[in-house]
Amino acid sequence: MNTGIIGLDNAKFTINFFFLMARIAAGEKSISGAKYFSVNVKKI
Protein backbone atom coordinates (compact mmCIF):
# COMPACT_ATOMS: atom_id res chain seq x y z
CA MET A 1 0.00 0.00 0.00
CA ASN A 2 2.68 2.50 1.03
CA THR A 3 4.86 1.70 -1.97
CA GLY A 4 1.90 2.35 -4.28
CA ILE A 5 1.33 5.77 -2.70
CA ILE A 6 5.03 6.61 -2.95
CA GLY A 7 5.02 5.57 -6.61
CA LEU A 8 2.01 7.77 -7.28
CA ASP A 9 3.68 10.73 -5.55
CA ASN A 10 6.83 10.17 -7.61
CA ALA A 11 4.77 10.09 -10.81
CA LYS A 12 3.05 13.36 -9.86
CA PHE A 13 6.41 14.93 -9.01
CA THR A 14 7.88 13.80 -12.33
CA ILE A 15 4.93 15.24 -14.27
CA ASN A 16 5.06 18.52 -12.33
CA PHE A 17 8.83 18.71 -12.85
CA PHE A 18 8.37 18.13 -16.58
CA PHE A 19 5.78 20.90 -16.84
CA LEU A 20 7.98 23.22 -14.77
CA MET A 21 10.91 22.62 -17.14
CA ALA A 22 8.65 23.18 -20.16
CA ARG A 23 7.38 26.43 -18.63
CA ILE A 24 10.93 27.62 -17.91
CA ALA A 25 12.00 26.79 -21.48
CA ALA A 26 8.99 28.65 -22.90
CA GLY A 27 9.67 31.57 -20.55
CA GLU A 28 13.28 31.82 -21.69
CA LYS A 29 12.17 31.86 -25.33
CA SER A 30 9.63 34.63 -24.69
CA ILE A 31 12.16 36.63 -22.63
CA SER A 32 14.80 36.39 -25.37
CA GLY A 33 12.11 37.32 -27.90
CA ALA A 34 11.15 40.36 -25.81
CA LYS A 35 14.81 41.42 -25.56
CA TYR A 36 15.22 41.04 -29.32
CA PHE A 37 12.05 43.06 -29.91
CA SER A 38 13.13 45.86 -27.54
CA VAL A 39 16.54 46.06 -29.23
CA ASN A 40 14.87 46.40 -32.64
CA VAL A 41 12.52 49.09 -31.33
CA LYS A 42 15.49 51.06 -29.99
CA LYS A 43 17.15 50.93 -33.43
CA ILE A 44 14.13 52.52 -35.10
Q: Using CA atoms, how far apart are residues 39 and 44, in angstroms rounded to an integer?
A: 9
pLDDT surpassing 60 at residue 29: yes
Q: Which residue range(s) make up the domain with 28?
A: 20-44
Domain count, the chain: 1
| Mean pLDDT of the region 18-34 | 85
Residue 8 is assigned to a structural domain of this protein? no
Give me the torsion for CA of 14, 19, 25, 31, rounded to 10°.
-140
Residue 20 DSSP class: H
* Average pLDDT across the chain, whole number: 80
pLDDT of residue 38: 75
pLDDT of residue 31: 78
Residue 26 is assigned to a structural domain of this protein? yes
The pTM score is: 0.50
